[in-house]
A and B are shown apart, each in its own frame.
Chain A
Amino acid sequence: MSNERFRDYQVAYLCRRAHRGYLHRSSGTKLFPAGGGSAPKRQHCRIYDVVHRLQGAFPPMRDILEQLEKRRAEARLGGGRQRIDGQHAKGKLTARERLDVLLDDGSFEEYDMYVTHRAVDFGMAESKIPGDGVVTGWGTINGRMVYVFSQDFTVHGGSLSETHAQKICKIMDLALRNGVPIIGLNDSGGARIQEGVASLAGYADVFRRNVEASGIIPQISVIMGPCAGGAVYSPAMTDFIFMVKNSSYMFVTGPDVVKTVTNEVVSAEELGGARTHTTKSSVADAAFDNDVEALEEVRRLFDFLPLNNREKLPHRQHFDEINRVIPQLDSLVPSSSTKPYDMKELILTVADEADFFEVQPTFARNMITGFVRINGYPTGVVANQPLVLAGCLDIDASRKAARFVRFCDAFSIPILTLVDVPGFLPGTAQEHGGVIKHGAKLLFAYSEATVPMVTVITRKAYGGAYDVMASKHIGADVNYAWPSAEIAVMGAKGAAEILYRGELTDKEAISRRTKEYETRFVNPFIAAERGFIDEVIMPHSTRKRVAKAFASLRSKSVPARWRKHDTIPL
């Protein structure tokens, strides 16, 4: 490299740093964010002094650099000060501000800052804003790489144009090629109507990439504003959807159309707000109070996830004894088998440092799903919750758990299943709603899973639900039961009434038969005699036993038969 070129290189480098807004101070360790209007001017000056010194006799180069800075500043301002203030007034952050929260300080590398749309109809030719309503690039979360796109509501309402979609597709392609997760921050009015079918094509291009990336890299969507019509289907095909309370909504057709077509009057919040999607529809996995909290929680979730389906799980140093004895678990299951207890206590005490990221905490609460770490390794937890509907399986719980199990399996996250299930919820609502097919989803998901699976039965494991909840028979690797476990086809009373139908009128005989059945079958030992349960463990040693079981399964490998794909009962 010639001296001249080297100097130019240095100048360009420094300018890049300066323009991006991140400068090394003399200490060399401290990074300063530039952050929109409050950019630290003083530091800029220091760098430009150097730049100017280096440039010396090359005034034209300075002009070129200044022009670049001007263009960048223009692009960073998006739809302008007024629209930014409008966004703030709604309690929302701008696209770039959101990335400041989501990504490590100073880690964001932006691409396609100068992209503008190419539409000319409806006066669009005069309305071009660099970036075209979406900020794309990559950065890091706690040092681990992630591709991001963040829709900019201040530019054409964040609407999706052909070029807007191309920007998203570009980083999706990069993410897939490099095996790096992608996080999309959605805040868009929908399709760019002025562009017509070109905009629709853009959506479809994104959809196809969502599907291609599914199961290869984790995909996370955060809905931080409107997300309506076709726009909902990209998040819908990602692995996690998070929403912001009171400022985000998702629906296929909005309240106006609903009113025109069905005469139903409903607010946007009621139709597709965060509450609706986290309690009724299960479209969203969690909702948070505001933009900042949502993004901080996404960072928390990200730490649990591997970068892609071939990457090792992120291991984190922990300060929790693997052999920690938990005496309180010996009294977790109440002596009366009809009394509920909180399964979360078991999850929190078994997990490293009681750290638990719950997925879908407010939907189908009879089933708990979420991530913990055991011995520093991320682990998915699926658990019946006796506090709600006695922890039974129903349509919602089956769907919720099935989806979670498939995610864990796709990304090699081991699964811990905690079982206290009295069976499937009976009733016409369930049967007519298709509990057969929905229950089958969970059965299917567990059966096809090849990740390390450890199951602990704390109390009830009755009937078909016993089979479904990660039993030995469908592929769990290590199955434990507490001494309080009741593993049987059905409850003792019901069983006695069927087996001794002839004695039905004799209450005393039936109660004697019930006792007989209880002593014979309502315990973990019949299952243990057959090897369906590997060991009956003391509740207080659950963490130790589970951790050791997972440790023994680290190198588990299951060869897969070739097939195009399975035919899971969707």
Chain B
Amino acid sequence: MTFFKKLLIANRGEIACRVIRTAKALKIPTVAVFSDADRDAVHVKIADESEYIGGSPSAESYLSGARILDVAAKFGADAIHPGYGFLSENAAFANAAKAKGIAFIGPSSSAIEAMGDKIASKKIASKAGVSVVPGHLDVIPDAESAVEIARGIGFPVMIKASAGGGGKGMRIAWNDEEVREGYKASRNEAKNAFGDDRIFIEKFVTQPRHIEIQILGDQLGGMIYLGERECSIQRRNQKVIEEAPSPFLDGATRKKMGEQAVALGRAVGYQSAGTVEFIVDSARNFYFLEMNTRLQVEHPVTELITGLDLVEEMIRVAAGQPLRWTQEDIKLDGWAVEARVYAEDPYRNFLPSIGRITRYRPPAEVKANAVAVRNDSGVEEGSEISIYYDPMISKLCTWAPTRLAAIDAMSKALDDYEVEGIRNNLPFLSAICAQSRFRRGELTTNYIAEEFPEGFSGVRPTELQQRHLAAVAAHIDIRLRRRALSASGRLSDMPIVVDKSRVISFEETDVLLTAEQSGDSTIVWLPDGMSIAVQSDWVPGKSHAVFDLDGYRLGIKTDLIGTKVRLRVGGIDLTASVRSTRVAELARLMPRSSQSGSDKRLLSPMPGVLTLLSAVPGQKIEPGQAVATVEAMKMENVLRAEKGGTVKVVAVAVGANLSADQLILEFE
């Protein structure tokens, strides 16, 4: 049987593709909607039908409920899946759909309303017997009362936008000044992002872990929980890596949290997939944070350990079907990890990177007994990451029977994942997966701040890794040289000589070795007698290949840049010059190239709009002082003066559209 005649997906990107995939499996025809920026998007291509709904800014398209409902009516769609974000937690939209006789695949508007307001939701949760964080649950009128309330609760406190989500409109404050600053910033962001500037404050739990319970309810009163997801690896409250189950919970805590989540669901008559977020402290005390009345970004990890298709279940219950499972049926099997691959530059403070994806080669999806790889994405080679939407490229998930095996599978999948044209966080994700603290499961939401206090600057290879990479560079070099020497036009009287001793120069170190090709493999000797046998299917032109180093497998991204070889693996990014001993000796005489003069200027790190500029010519600026705010990708990015000094020139005015590297200020 089919549950609906036609399904409209009121979303874009990977989640639209994700929903369409399940709809296809259920044989429900699909309608995609798109904005100007998404004319050639993947979700439009894979849907059965599609319709243009407006300009690129989401307010003109994906947030335009009336327009979307018109499209649904025009195409005869009798159900709408809102995905996440956009209209997914918009009670008015859910109501309007219902009024038109279109099923909104999500909870009832009353449940959305009840949980959508963070303050109201807390009161309801408290009443339903869910443990909540101490805090002030009323709207705070101004910064000064915020300071007072914060003092009452005790520092640190969390300042939050009532309508917030996804890290927007959220600030942590450790003192009065930060409360004032955070209050203003949160309010500003909340106003811009949600059109609702109500702010509240609560106790900030230290050493916190973010653990959330997936619940699923039907229209007949059935309600189960599907275990938890731990999303503690966050950067500025944006989730980066999620996993299920949590390495921290025991069966008893899981049961307690699950039951409270279900109790809350029942209290609001919840009848779809939803998520109850908890903050868990080091003693496994858990406090209700908020409830997300939609499908979560990180839902695939739950699917991977439960075997359920959450989108399918949402469609079923929306069609009035009863749940197909009781709580006893739900068994958690194995371990799943999800890494969010973003178009952002980890080396430049994770600034969003926009542009065209010139190479997109995700790892192969696998479904096997020992390991599974799943990649939920909405892009393809040639897709554009625009300034208008979330710069997510894909959600890469791996599953394995144990946590460590799942993490290993993730490391491998990240090494096999090629994205070019835009900056991306693959090396950062690889770096986390390789960290022993992460592998031990010692997580808190401060993990990234603690492990990368100076930001991310790449992974330094160990000595063995460096030797391995040197051997790989030699393997590549010997093939390039042989090929070059075999070109036509050579002086045929002379024998072909392929010098075996080479020096592999990385930025700081030289590795001297001897390399000899034999068929597909290369034998490399190092001066201390160590030998490495490299075997690979690499040929010139290949941008990624698997290298076998004495049985040790490495998936390496290989680029030839001029005469140099760039190798990327596991967050390591090295560029090697491969030279004869003589040329290497001469290269050591060369001066190190120096970068000059850039610290006297403040450049826009990305394209965006200048929303705040707090400097005038002649003003003295302290090092680290915030001088400008650039809004891009719906995020405010505060730019600080690196060295400080006296402002000489202010090149642009507030409201200006900035391009990347455009001059904002110049110091004397």
Residues of chain A whose beta carbon lies under 8 Å from any beta carbon of chain B: 29-31, 33, 35, 88, 91, 93, 97, 100-101, 104-107, 140, 142-145, 245-246, 289-293, 296-297, 299-300, 303, 306-307, 311-312, 314-320, 327-332, 335, 341-342, 345, 352-355
Residues of chain B lying within 8 A (CB to CB) of residue A318? 540-541
From known contacts A142-B487, A143-B485, A316-B483, infer whether A31 and B497 are also in contact, taking CB-CB under 8 Å.
Answer: yes
Chain A residues touching B, majority SS = loop
Q: Do A353 and B491 have beta carbons less than 8 Å apart?
A: no
A425 to chain B, nearest CB (A): 21
State the CA gap A299–B591 with chains docked (Å).
21
**A352 to chain B: closest residue by CB:** B541
Residues of chain B lying within 8 A (CB to CB) of residue A345? 356, 358, 421
Can you list 14 A-B contacts (CB < 8 A)?
A: A30-B500, A35-B585, A97-B586, A100-B582, A105-B580, A106-B497, A290-B593, A291-B586, A291-B590, A297-B562, A316-B487, A319-B542, A353-B560, A354-B543
Q: Do B583 and A330 have beta carbons less than 8 Å apart?
A: no
Residues of chain A lying within 8 A (CB to CB) of residue B486? 316-317
B366 within 8 A of A: no
Q: Do B580 and A297 have beta carbons less than 8 Å apart?
A: no
State the CA gap A300–B593 with chains docked (Å).
21
B53 to chain A, nearest CB (A): 16
Q: Which of B356, B484, B499, B539 contacts A342 (CB 8 A)?
A: B356
Residues of chain B whose beta carbon lies under 8 Å from any beta carbon of chain A: 39-40, 356, 358-359, 380-383, 421, 481, 483-491, 494, 496-497, 499-501, 539-543, 560, 562-563, 580-583, 585-587, 589-591, 593
Residues of chain A lying within 8 A (CB to CB) of residue B489? 144, 306-307, 311-312, 314
Q: Do A289 and B593 have beta carbons less than 8 Å apart?
A: yes
State the CA gap A335–B421 with chains docked (Å).
19
Q: Do A144 and B499 have beta carbons less than 8 Å apart?
A: no
Chain B residues touching A, majority SS = loop
A411 to chain B, nearest CB (A): 12
Q: Do A355 and B593 have beta carbons less than 8 Å apart?
A: no
Residues of chain B lying within 8 A (CB to CB) of residue A289? 590, 593
A358 to chain B, nearest CB (A): 10
Q: Which of B381, B494, B543 contacts A143 (CB 8 A)?
A: B494
Q: Do A327 and B381 have beta carbons less than 8 Å apart?
A: yes
Q: Which of A297, A314, A319, A328 contacts B540 (CB 8 A)?
A: A319
Residues of chain A lying within 8 A (CB to CB) of residue B563? 293, 296-297, 299-300
Chain B CB count within 10 A is highest, among A88, A143, A317, A327, for A143
**A91 to chain B: closest residue by CB:** B591
Residues of chain B lying within 8 A (CB to CB) of residue A315? 487-488
**A35 to chain B: closest residue by CB:** B582
Residues of chain B lying within 8 A (CB to CB) of residue A91? 589-591
From known contacts A300-B563, A319-B540, A352-B541, infer whether A142 and B490 are also in contact, taking CB-CB under 8 Å.
Answer: yes
Q: Do A314 and B500 have beta carbons less than 8 Å apart?
A: no
The 3 closest A-B pairs by CB, nearest first: A353-B541, A143-B490, A328-B382
B659 to chain A, nearest CB (A): 12
Q: Do A303 and B358 have beta carbons less than 8 Å apart?
A: no
Task: Supply 17 further A-B pairs (C-beta < 8 A) apart from A143-B487, A316-B488.
Answer: A35-B582, A93-B586, A105-B499, A140-B490, A140-B494, A143-B496, A297-B563, A314-B488, A316-B486, A316-B487, A317-B486, A319-B539, A328-B359, A331-B382, A342-B356, A345-B421, A355-B560
Residues of chain B lying within 8 A (CB to CB) of residue A293? 562-563, 590
Residues of chain A lying within 8 A (CB to CB) of residue B543? 354
**B500 to chain A: closest residue by CB:** A30
From known contacts A330-B382, A331-B40, infer whether A30 and B490 are also in contact, taking CB-CB under 8 Å.
Answer: no
From known contacts A30-B499, A312-B488, infer whether A354 and B541 are also in contact, taking CB-CB under 8 Å.
Answer: yes
Q: Which of A300, A319, A335 contacts B541 (CB 8 A)?
A: A319
From known contacts A30-B500, A142-B485, A314-B489, infer whether A290 and B541 are also in contact, taking CB-CB under 8 Å.
Answer: no
Q: Do A300 and B590 have beta carbons less than 8 Å apart?
A: no
Residues of chain B lying within 8 A (CB to CB) of residue A106? 497
State the CA gap A329–B543 with chains docked (Å).
18
State the CA gap A138–B481 with chains docked (Å).
21
Q: Which of A290, A303, A328, A332 contacts B484 (CB 8 A)?
A: A303
State the CA gap A335–B481 with chains docked (Å).
43
**A351 to chain B: closest residue by CB:** B541
**A138 to chain B: closest residue by CB:** B491
Residues of chain B lying within 8 A (CB to CB) of residue A355? 540-541, 560
Chain A CB count within 10 A is highest, among B359, B421, B497, B560, for B497
Residues of chain A lying within 8 A (CB to CB) of residue B589? 88, 91, 93
A256 to chain B, nearest CB (A): 25
Residues of chain A lying within 8 A (CB to CB) of residue B488? 312, 314-316
Residues of chain A lying within 8 A (CB to CB) of residue B39? 335
B341 to chain A, nearest CB (A): 18
State the CA gap A331–B355 with chains docked (Å).
13
A185 to chain B, nearest CB (A): 14
State the CA gap A67–B358 with chains docked (Å).
63
Q: Do B491 and A143 have beta carbons less than 8 Å apart?
A: yes
State the CA gap A153–B345 with chains docked (Å).
45
State the CA gap A91–B588 with chains docked (Å).
10
State the CA gap A41–B543 with chains docked (Å).
44
Q: Do B490 and A292 have beta carbons less than 8 Å apart?
A: no
From known contacts A144-B491, A328-B358, infer whether A353 and B590 are also in contact, taking CB-CB under 8 Å.
Answer: no
Q: Do A327 and B494 have beta carbons less than 8 Å apart?
A: no
B632 to chain A, nearest CB (A): 19
Q: Which of B487, B590, B593 contacts A303 (CB 8 A)?
A: B487
A334 to chain B, nearest CB (A): 8
State the CA gap A242–B80 with chains docked (Å).
62
State the CA gap A289–B380 with chains docked (Å).
36
State the CA gap A260–B383 with chains docked (Å).
58
State the CA gap A272–B447 with chains docked (Å).
53
Chain B CB count within 10 A is highest, among A30, A246, A292, for A292
State the CA gap A291–B580 with chains docked (Å).
16
Residues of chain B lying within 8 A (CB to CB) of residue A311? 489
Residues of chain A lying within 8 A (CB to CB) of residue B591? 91, 246, 290
B189 to chain A, nearest CB (A): 30
Q: Do A29 and B497 have beta carbons less than 8 Å apart?
A: yes
Q: Which of B481, B500, B583 contacts A100 (CB 8 A)?
A: B583
Chain A CB count within 10 A is highest, among B483, B499, B582, for B582
B539 to chain A, nearest CB (A): 4
B496 to chain A, nearest CB (A): 7
B667 to chain A, nearest CB (A): 23
B102 to chain A, nearest CB (A): 30
Q: Do A101 and B490 have beta carbons less than 8 Å apart?
A: no
Residues of chain A lying within 8 A (CB to CB) of residue B383? 331
State the CA gap A296–B578 with chains docked (Å).
11
State the CA gap A296–B505 with chains docked (Å).
14
